[in-house]
Amino acid sequence: MSAPITARLARELAAVVDQLRRATVQVRTRGAGIGAGVLWHAGDGSRALVITNAHVARGNRTTIELSDGTVASARAVARDPKRDLAALEFAADRDLAAAVGREAPPLEVGELVIALGHPGGLVGAATLGIIHAGSERDGRTPRWIQADVRLAPGFSGGPLADAQGRLIGINTMVRGGLALAVPAATIDAWLRRSRALVSS
């Protein structure tokens, strides 16, 4: 790879990471460490929704810190321990930059991905890797996206995105040296079901 191409790629990735940081929050629960979350829906400037892991947002009340340092109290509006998902809602006094999901094309093994989190108190840390497995088969969403990307405590609940910064999943755990993320399509379907149950 020539130097100009390498330099351009580095600039592009830095811009993508900066964009992802604006959609990534810190999630704090009393008595637990700091995890990450993703601004899923920015609302109309009054309420915002964050998706994180259930093991990060323990209990019904958490504290959210945005990328600009703004702190807000959040409450859990949906929780699924089996999928390790939690949806948190908080009051927003302005429009926020929510994550942008990837709709197409399907993920390819070997595709470059980026994970963000807050390991060891380091805010907005980024790590790069590649897709190991987890592409759609027969039109069905896989249970996990598996990525060869290095995660540490503090990345849980944070975004896994493609090289263009489009969200593909929420980082959840490491198994067998691979990072496992809940696919964004699974989270969308879970949120629709959760809201239907709440409104019924």
What CATH number has the domain bearing residue 134?
2.40.10.10
Mean pLDDT of 136-165: 88
Shared domain check, 81 and 29: yes
* 99 assigned to some structural domain: no
* 198 assigned to some structural domain: no
> Last residue of a domain, which of 91, 125, 154?
91
As for how many domains the chain has, the answer is: 2
Shared domain check, 66 and 138: no
Express each pLDDT in 3-34 by its tens digit: 676 888 889 999 999 999 999 999 998 766 78
- 57 contacts: CB under 8 Å, gap ≥ 6: 27, 29, 35, 37, 74, 76, 79, 86, 88, 157
Residues known to be catalytic = 55, 84, 156
Shared domain check, 119 and 85: no
* 121 assigned to some structural domain: yes
Q: From CA 19, how far away is CA 39, in angstroms rounded? A: 12
Express each pLDDT in 154-198 by its tens digit: 999 999 999 999 999 999 999 999 999 999 999 999 998 886 554
Residue 136: domain span: 112-189
> Last residue of a domain, which of 60, 91, 122?
91
